[in-house]
């Protein structure tokens, strides 16, 4: 699970901030072009052991990691290996230890000034639906051979995904659940950004909730087993 979460965040950034509290880990990143934002919340119950020592229950410990370094450790470990991360500011506030199987590695933390702070914007989106992640990925795989962008259109009873080139085009009416749309809403998005996110989300969630409004960012939410991830992708606005 942690490897998939890190891979998802790595499509947007190379440096990541973990905010650790007594009951959860929060991660929030935005890509340099400000097209995509990823917000992750991991409940402590998903770890077989989770311990944070702070001066007060409300205190948050922030650690700044190189994503590629963490992923390289996970990639070289075995599936049956436990993954243990230890940080003790009293011993060394500039590094942390990772234990996988019989291996113990010490890695440096990065300078916090290089990590961009980001907060989730407040969006009032007018349409939403639940879709199978595998269906969304299949459409995007086909659409990337036709265009750089695709559109999402919702009406009161259906959803249409469309990508068009000079001549070629693809339409897809996915099977959706819990559709909410009081009128027709349509927005266009980058296939590259969308597909990269959905590829990693597919490894974590069977279905996703997609929310849009006309020419607003899309909000993609995956939630299960006390893990929640929200991806925001800015729309493609056609020049008038």
pLDDT of residue 188: 95
Residue with tokens 């509290």: 21
- For the stretch 53-63, pLDDT in tens is 877 778 888 88
- For the stretch 171-219, pLDDT in tens is 999 999 999 998 999 999 999 999 999 999 999 999 999 999 998 999 9
Residue 40 placed within a domain: yes
DSSP labels for 57-112? Answer: TT--EEEEEEHHHHHHHHHHS-TT--EEEE--TTT-TTEEEEEETTEEEEEE---G
Residue with tokens 């349409």: 127
Q: Percentage of residues in the chain with pLDDT exceeding 70?
A: 96
109 and 9 belong to one structural domain: yes
Pseudo-torsion of CA 199, 27, 236, 176, nearest 10°?
Answer: 50
154 and 104 belong to one structural domain: no
69 and 20 belong to one structural domain: yes
19 and 74 belong to one structural domain: yes
Q: Which pTM was predicted?
A: 0.90
Structural domain tally of the chain?
2
pLDDT of residue 81: 76
- Determine phi and psi for 5, rounding to 5 degrees: -65, -45
Q: Provide the 10 A C-beta neighbour count for residue 96.
A: 19
145 and 224 belong to one structural domain: yes
Q: Which of 114, 139, 166 is the last residue of a domain?
A: 114
- Look up residue 46 and give its DSSP letter: G
In this model, does residue 240 exceed pLDDT 60? no
Q: Which of 72, 90, 114 is the last residue of a domain?
A: 114
Tokens of 121: 């914007």
Q: How confident is the model at residue 7 (pLDDT cuts 50, 70, 90)?
A: very high
Q: Provide the 10 A C-beta neighbour count for residue 42.
A: 21
CATH, residue 214: 3.10.150.10
In this model, does residue 225 exceed pLDDT 90? no
CB 38 within 8 A of CB 28: yes
Residue 119 placed within a domain: no
Q: Which of 79, 114, 149 is the last residue of a domain?
A: 114
Q: Calculate the CA 204 to chain-centre distance.
A: 10
Q: Provide the 10 A C-beta neighbour count for residue 89.
A: 11
Host domain of residue 45: 2-114
Residue 121 placed within a domain: no
């Amino acid at each position: 699970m942690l490897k998939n979460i890190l891979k998802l965040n790595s499509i947007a950034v190379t440096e990541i901030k973990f905010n650790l509290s007594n009951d959860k880990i929060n991660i929030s990143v935005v890509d340099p072009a400000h097209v995509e934002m990823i917000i992750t919340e991991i409940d402590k119950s998903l770890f077989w052991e989770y311990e944070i020592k702070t001066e007060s229950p409300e205190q948050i410990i922030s650690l700044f990691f190189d994503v590629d370094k963490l992923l390289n450790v996970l990639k070289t470990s075995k599936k049956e290996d436990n993954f243990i991360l230890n940080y003790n500011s009293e011993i060394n506030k500039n590094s942390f230890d990772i234990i996988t199987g019989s291996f113990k590695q010490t890695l440096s933390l990065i300078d916090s000034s290089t990590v961009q702070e980001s907060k989730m914007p407040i969006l009032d989106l007018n349409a939403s639906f639940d879709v199978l992640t595998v269906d969304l990925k299949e459409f995007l795989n086909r659409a990337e051979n036709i265009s750089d962008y695709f559109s999402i259109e919702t009406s009161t009873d259906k959803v249409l995904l469309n990508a068009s080139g000079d001549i070629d085009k693809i339409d897809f009416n996915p099977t959706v659940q819990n559709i909410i749309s009081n009128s027709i809403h349509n927005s266009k998005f980058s296939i590259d950004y969308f597909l990269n996110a959905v590829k990693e989300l597919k490894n974590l969630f069977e279905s996703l909730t997609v929310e849009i409004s006309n020419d607003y960012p899309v909000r993609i939410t995956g939630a299960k087993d006390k893990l929640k991830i929200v991806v925001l992708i800015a729309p493609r606005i056609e020049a008038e």
